[in-house]
Amino acid sequence: MAASFSSMLIIPSSKISYEASLGGLSFHNFLTAKSPPLKRNQKSIKVVTRDNHSPLVDDLMIEVQEHEHEHATLHQKDLSEMWRQIHGEKNWEGLLEPMDPLLRSEVIRYGELAQACHDAFDYEPFSRFEEEKFFSSLGMTHHGYKVTRYIHLTANTDFLLKWLIHSKWPTAMGSKVNWGGYVAVSNDDTSRCLGRRDIVIAWRGTTTHLEGEKDLRSSLTPVSSKGIPCHDDGVKVDNGFLDMYTGKDETSEYCQHSARDHVLREVKRLMDMYSEEEVSITVTGHSLGSALAILSAYDIVEKGLDRGVPVSVMSFSGPAVGNKSFHKRLKKLGIKVLRVINANDWVPWFSLWLPPFQYYHVGVELKLDNNKSPFLKHDVDCAHNLEVLLHLLDGYHGERGEFMLASDRDHALVNKGGDFLKESYLVPPNWWQDENKGLKRSSDGRWVQPERTIEVDGYP
């Protein structure tokens, strides 16, 4: 029969129809590159073609059944029973090659919680959303968490060009202050599914010029020099990351206390609140946020605020944070770190090449490669993008496995803040934006930036 025909895949649960012309494309590539993936609770997929009895359709149905098998396995597993392994209890041994479907799902979820920091930040000193509306404003209520505190970062600089580097709205919170992330906790329903109450700390990646200048600093300093309780002065971390984590701004009512103060105070409060429950602490972040995630996880355990509960870091595209002694100390404290990186991203390796050549990565590495995805252009700029990394996670089936999307995660998200999808997918670049770019019409009919107010009460 002819090698080309029109096919319609109908997914009853999502009520979405996708139409594609196969041309000379193999059925495997057609399934992975064109068809919407099966949902976890979906039992079947209906294939409507001009010839339902053709060998090509039979081949397609085999691919569908194989694709469905992974989701059936995932559905059968009980996260409430496996969460300690997924959280890194055994350093993810046997879960990465090939990729365990439940682990994949959980790592993507924490990546989305980190991505939320980027989506909510609008280059002003704070998130555009109120804490109680954070996840609903981003369409993420299905994650089952509620934000309990925002984190604000203070970045100081003694560079002569510091006048170039400041918050967009310095009168609001201070010239060196920006919104840095949040602390959240799983709700009751989600906690039952997870098998524990999960406290999440999510850190935003580099956005402002000042933060970029901090990223490029390459000097190591003892963690104890900034008040983190460590009796070994040989345990050192990058000075720029440490300064941002512990920095304060006496001129700002929001950052008279450091990001560290905000995080530690909130973790203590939540640990007290859920002292009768089984609890985990998961810290996540992308790029700069990854470095701050590792540093804050270390601080929480070194200070004893974890009270023996599992503490894990889901790191995305992160640089090395400290020296070999920091690496050893982190391991001794039992902190589990899964570092997800893109093989073509220079950020995870940059600090290793800088003097004093004493930086060490921590934890277990999961290396992905954007060149393996049939969805993506060959564009080096995509290598450090978090949405691209989550897309690669979705298609990863082991180092030697073939790329095939495994969940219902929309590949259009790749172009949320970039132009990385091939043109044939018809997804416009940089499509994630607020209605009217955030401007609101005032009572006199003018379009203005709305007033932003944040309650100071409750900050340490």
The predicted pLDDT at position 116 comes to 92
Residue 437 within any structural domain of the chain:
yes
> Is a pLDDT exceeding 80 seen at residue 96?
yes
Residue 453 within any structural domain of the chain:
no
Q: Which residue out of 287, 317, 351, 373 is catalytically annotated?
A: 287
The pLDDT > 70 percentage for the chain reads 70
Pairwise pLDDT comparison (380 vs 27), residue with the higher score: 380
47 burial class (0-12, 13-18, 19+ CB within 10 angstroms)? middle
> Is a pLDDT exceeding 70 seen at residue 40?
no
Residue 134 within any structural domain of the chain:
yes
Q: Is 384 a catalytic residue?
A: yes
Number of domains comprising the chain:
1
Residue 460 within any structural domain of the chain:
no
Q: Which residue out of 345, 361, 394, 407 is catalytically annotated?
A: 345
Residue 407 within any structural domain of the chain:
yes
3-state secondary structure the chain: CCCCCEEEEEECCCCEEEEEECCCCCHHHHHHHHCCCCCCCCCCCEEEECCCCCHHHHHHHHHHHHHHHHHHHHHHCCHHHHHHHHCCCCCCCCCCCCCCHHHHHHHHHHHHHHHHHHHHECCCCCECCCHHHHHHHCCCHHHCEEEEEEEEEECCCCCCCHHHCCCCCHHHHCCCEEEEEEEEEECHHHHHHHCCEEEEEEECCCCCHHHHHHHCCCCEEEHHHHCCCCCCCCCEEEHHHHHHHHCCCCCCCCCCCCHHHHHHHHHHHHHHHCCCCCEEEEEEEECHHHHHHHHHHHHHHHCCCCCCCCEEEEEECCCCCECHHHHHHHHHCCCEEEEEEECCCCHHHHHHHCCCCCCECCCEEEEECHHHCCCECCCHHHHHCHHHHHHHHHHCCCCCCCCCCCCCCCHHHHHCCCCCECHHHCCCCCCCCCHHHHCEECCCCCEECCCCCCCCCCCC
The length of the chain is 460
Pairwise pLDDT comparison (89 vs 43), residue with the higher score: 89
pLDDT tens-digit readout, 385-397: 999 999 999 999 9
Residue 35 within any structural domain of the chain:
no
pLDDT tens-digit readout, 384-427: 999 999 999 999 998 888 999 998 789 999 999 899 999 999 99
For 322, the domain range is 95-448
Q: Which residue out of 143, 384, 391, 411 is catalytically annotated?
A: 384
The predicted pLDDT at position 177 comes to 67
pLDDT tens-digit readout, 149-200: 999 887 654 332 232 233 444 444 445 667 789 999 999 999 999 999 999 9
> Is a pLDDT exceeding 80 seen at residue 370?
yes
The most confident of the ranges 17-21, 153-157, 334-338 is 334-338
**CA–CA dist 229, 432 (Å, integer):** 42
pLDDT tens-digit readout, 229-279: 999 999 999 988 998 899 887 776 666 889 999 999 999 999 999 999 999
**CA–CA dist 77, 36 (Å, integer):** 23
Phi, psi of 177 (to 5 degrees): -110, 135
Q: Is 272 a catalytic residue?
A: no
Q: Would you say 176 and 166 are in contact if contact means Cβ atoms under 8 Å apart?
A: yes
CATH of the domain at 263: 3.40.50.1820
| Residue 415 token pair | 């172009």
Mean pLDDT of 31-54: 38
Closest CA to 202 of 147, 158, 137, 277: 147
The predicted pLDDT at position 310 comes to 97
> Is a pLDDT exceeding 50 seen at residue 115?
yes
Residues contacting residue 4 through CB under 8 Å, at least 6 positions apart = 21, 22, 23, 24
Phi, psi of 135 (to 5 degrees): -70, -35
Angle CA(259)–CA(105)–CA(334) in degrees, nearest 5? 50
Pairwise pLDDT comparison (403 vs 22), residue with the higher score: 403
pLDDT, the chain, mean: 78
Pairwise pLDDT comparison (183 vs 53), residue with the higher score: 183
**CA–CA dist 316, 31 (Å, integer):** 28
Pairwise pLDDT comparison (313 vs 241), residue with the higher score: 313
Q: Is 243 a catalytic residue?
A: no
Predicted TM-score (pTM) of the model is 0.78
Beta bridge partners of 197: 279
Residue 350 within any structural domain of the chain:
yes
Pairwise pLDDT comparison (63 vs 378), residue with the higher score: 378
Residue 263 within any structural domain of the chain:
yes
